[in-house]
Amino acid sequence: MSNEKEMSLEKATFGAGCFWGVEAAFRQLPGVVATRVGYTGGHVENPTYELVCSHTTGHAEAVEVTYDPERVSYDDLLDVFWTKHNPTTKNRQGLDIGSQYRSAIFFHSPEQEEAALRTRDELQEKLHWPKKIVTEIVPATKFYEAEDYHQQYLEKRGRSSCTAELAASNA
């Protein structure tokens, strides 16, 4: 990839529960050139999965998406984010419970912040949910890459979603 092309790439970071399924969803979008799962939003340097699961780091499981804005818009990424999880449950997604599973958008620019707030408000109005969206919309902080076995976890197992992973493990 040329330096000129690399300079036009942007980053987006999302927390939407277990990072395996979230990463797989973003990787399917044309224009997403790379993803990595990890931990962000907390106060401990170099956290491990075990430490994050101890609920003492303040970190969320997150996906950092590197994308080409000429091929996929930040709004397109937000569409995947909003539809991939339940943004009305605090510190929980399905059976996964804890602050590391919180719904969060870690914005990298004022434009990303504005888009996140706008789409959150549009979704809240459109769906008329009895619960309010509890998604944190906060500035991106240092992103710590998760252990290698977490990277592209579902792809390595021939799966495209956690639902397929659960179905296979229950078969």
Catalytically annotated residues? 18
Q: Is 90 exposed, middle or buried (0-12, 13-18, 19+ CB in 10 A)?
A: middle
Could you list the beta-strand ranges (E) of 46-99. 60-67, 92-93, 96-97
Angle between helices 110-127 and 74-84 (to 10 degrees): 40
Tokens representing 103? 């719904």
What distance in Å separates the CA atoms of residue 71 and residue 58, rounded to the nearest whole number?
A: 34
What contacts 72, CB < 8 A, 6 or more positions away? 29, 30, 31, 32
Q: Strand pairing partners for 64?
A: 13, 36
